[in-house]
Chain A
């Protein structure tokens, strides 16, 4: 399985070589802004961005199809990995807080069903129903 924190060309969504689309996929910025910035940078400092574009397009690997689980239907996974590339520590803490949230909600439900009040209410309900 390919690394999900690496940089890949995105030829499927790319216009020429997929470098700008790859950067957009890597960082999470909108691809349009990256293309516009690329064009402006090429105009202002002429050869270097173009050279960098060609070198990246030539050297970098193309994105494997199975990088994210069904990414068209569900962009959540892709966003998660974009955040992870920017700050791995933060996403790890986010996953932990997700587990804590689940724990808290489960505890609430448990309390609700094990509290004496709930038992009493259920018994009253049963008496009413019978």
Chain B
């Protein structure tokens, strides 16, 4: 009885159990980590927006810092004060708004 049973069990484990186990974990892994195409595009856009907002915030923070470092002195009108702060020489570059990334 047991001599007949062992090969059957071995073959069924080898040819049914093992592929089932592998496929089970493959599907699980795919479910866990797969981003759909829409998710990818959404994530890309959010990432892009976050970067651009971050750049803008940095520019604004720099402008405000420069404004507060050099308050108007007596006898000077505020408009005469040129903001001199770190990185003020490349403001023209920083202030230029970045174009939206071309949709492909």
Instruction: Give chain B nearest CB distance to A112 CB in angstroms.
Output: 7
Q: Are B61 and A109 in contact (CB under 8 A)?
A: yes
Interface residues of B toward A: which range? 20 to 34
Q: Which residues of B contact A88 (CB under 8 A)?
A: 33, 35, 39, 43
Q: CB of A129 within 8 A of chain B?
A: yes
Interface residues of A toward B: which range? 20 to 34
Q: What string of 1s and 0s marks CB contacts (under 8 Å) between A1-17 and chain B? A: 10111000000000000
Give the A-B contact count at a CB cut-off of 8 A. 53
Q: CB of B8 within 8 A of chain A?
A: no
Q: How far is the CA of A95 from the CA of B62 in the complex (A)?
A: 23
Instruction: Choose among A3, A98, A112, A125 the residue that contacts B78 (Cβ–Cβ < 8 A).
Output: A125
Q: CB of B69 within 8 A of chain A?
A: no
Q: Which residues of A contact B41 (CB under 8 A)?
A: 1
Residues of B within 8 A of A (CB): 33, 35, 37, 39-41, 43-44, 46-47, 50-51, 53-54, 57, 60-61, 64, 71-72, 74, 76-78, 101, 104
Question: Can you give 18 contacting A-B residue pairs, CB < 8 Å?
Answer: A5-B35, A80-B47, A88-B35, A88-B39, A91-B47, A98-B50, A98-B54, A99-B46, A99-B53, A102-B50, A102-B53, A102-B57, A106-B57, A109-B60, A109-B61, A125-B72, A129-B72, A129-B76
